[in-house]
Structures are given as C-alpha cells and as structure tokens.
Amino acid sequence: MTEFELPNISVDVVPVTLNAYSGKLEVLIGKRIYEPNLGEFALPGVLLTPHERLDEAAYRALEKKLSIPASYVVELIDLGTFDNPDRDPRGATVSIAKLAVISSAPEGSTAAGVTSIPIDEIANDSYALPFDHNSIVLAASNLLTEKMLFNKAITKAILGDTFTTKTLRNVLVQLQETEKGENIIFDASNLTRQLKGTKWVEMVEDKETVTNLTASTSRGRPSRVWTWL
C-alpha cells in the first residue's frame, strides 16, 4: 500500500477593525516569536489540533497571538482555503482562512509586538507579510468589497451600532483602492439616498448622540448619523 505524507492544517485569521481616528479599516498583526520569519509581523494562525473545530482554532489564534478575546469578535467569516504546497517552508500546510471583524483593538493588543496596518496597504503589497499572508488579506479585502452595502450583517459589523455617512464613505473609498475596488460603485453626493434605499438604517435625531459622534471627525457641516433598524 502506498503511503502519503499528509499536510498540516492551519487556521489563519485576518482580524479587521475600523480605526475610529483615521476612519480606515486596519488589519491587526503580531510579531512572530518563532522561526521561520522570526520577528516579522504576520497574521495570527495556529495548527488545527485533533477534535478542534475550525472556529475554535480561529479564536485560539486571536487569543494566543494577539491577546484578542472572543468577546471582541463581532463576525467570523470563511475566506477560503490556501493550498500552495510551498506556502510554508516547514512543509506542506493547507491554510483555512477566516475574516474576524473586531469591535475595537483591546488593551492587550497595544502591547509591544502587535501593530495594525490599513487593509489596502497589505492587499496591494505595499506592506509585505511572510508566507502567503498578503494573498489572504487580499481575499478578505475582496470579500468586504463585495459585501459592503449588500450584506447587512457584515456592513453592520464593520461600521458599528451607530456611524456617520463620512465613516461609510471613508471605508468605501479605501476599498476602492484594492484589486476589486472598481466593483464598488457609489455616488458620494447621493450616499444618503443609497443608505436609505437599503432599508437597514434610520437617521439619528438625538442631538447629543450626533454631537458626540461627529465632534472629532467633522469640519463644517456635521455628517449625518445612522443607526440600524
């Protein structure tokens, strides 16, 4: 009987969060503490253990590599399988990738060895990651490009419980800079009408909420504030 060497199975995660100050989608990455690529920033990932589900491994990767607890994960979404036999110099490893939308970067993630990079910079190879992690981030960016304003759960996970028209516009403009960005078609002057057309949101009328959310991000006329129906 012919014996075959089975590849390892890893679960790699693209943790994405919306930076409240820059208005950009950012990917959280951590410094590797082992070879190969010791000291380089990479996506959090772990080898799948026996009797472990894929989502369990994804949560373990976030906790172990970036100190992000499961409670910070708003959505965990399948990205696909990455099976290039040469993707890992240690041997054949099949990666099952997940996109994790993080509500915010927890305190533990600000420690030394963890940083965040705008998703378009990694997707466009302006910031290089080891292995095939740039390709995995590109897949995450493409998925968000396809789903923003078409999938309520993902759009809400990215924007949060309340958001401004300006915040949404910034995200759409950022995603337009990536591979499939030309698929995002929106008219900045009619974005309010486009939002209303989804029937997902309504404008916030409470003046205190509007002031608190727009004070640090708006100049001139305040941006409209939205909440979910």
Mean pLDDT to the nearest integer, 13-17: 98
Structure confidence at residue 223 (pLDDT): 83
Q: How far apart are CA 37 and CA 158, in angstroms?
A: 31
**C-alpha triplet 116, 56, 24: angle, nearest 5°:** 20
The pair of structure tokens assigned to 8 is 């390892």
Mean pLDDT to the nearest integer, 152-170: 95
Q: Provide the β-strand partners of residue 220.
A: none
Torsion of CA 59, 122, 171, 189, to 10 degrees: -160
C-alpha 138, offset from chain centre: 10
Q: For the purposes of burial, counting CB atoms within 10 Å of the CB of 221, is it exposed (0-12), middle (13-18) or buried (19 or more)?
A: exposed
Q: What pTM, to 2 d.p., does this model score? A: 0.92
Q: Are the beta carbons of 161 and 18 closer than 8 angstroms?
A: no
Secondary structure letter of residue 112 according to DSSP: T
Structure confidence at residue 143 (pLDDT): 96
pLDDT digits (tens, 9 = 90+) for 24-80: 999 999 999 999 999 999 999 999 999 999 999 999 999 999 999 999 999 999 999
Structure confidence at residue 1 (pLDDT): 58
The pair of structure tokens assigned to 83 is 């099976």
Closest among 129, 97, 135 to 15, alpha carbons compared: 97
Tell me the pairing of strands 93-102 and 25-31. unpaired
Contacts of 35 (CB under 8 A, 6+ apart): none
Check pLDDT > 80 for residue 206: no
Q: Are the beta carbons of 203 and 195 closer than 8 angstroms?
A: no
Computed over every residue of the chain, the mean pLDDT equals 90
Q: Are the beta carbons of 182 and 49 closer than 8 angstroms?
A: no
Sheet architecture: strand order including 225-228: 162-164, 225-228, 201-203
Structure confidence at residue 186 (pLDDT): 77
Mean pLDDT to the nearest integer, 81-94: 93
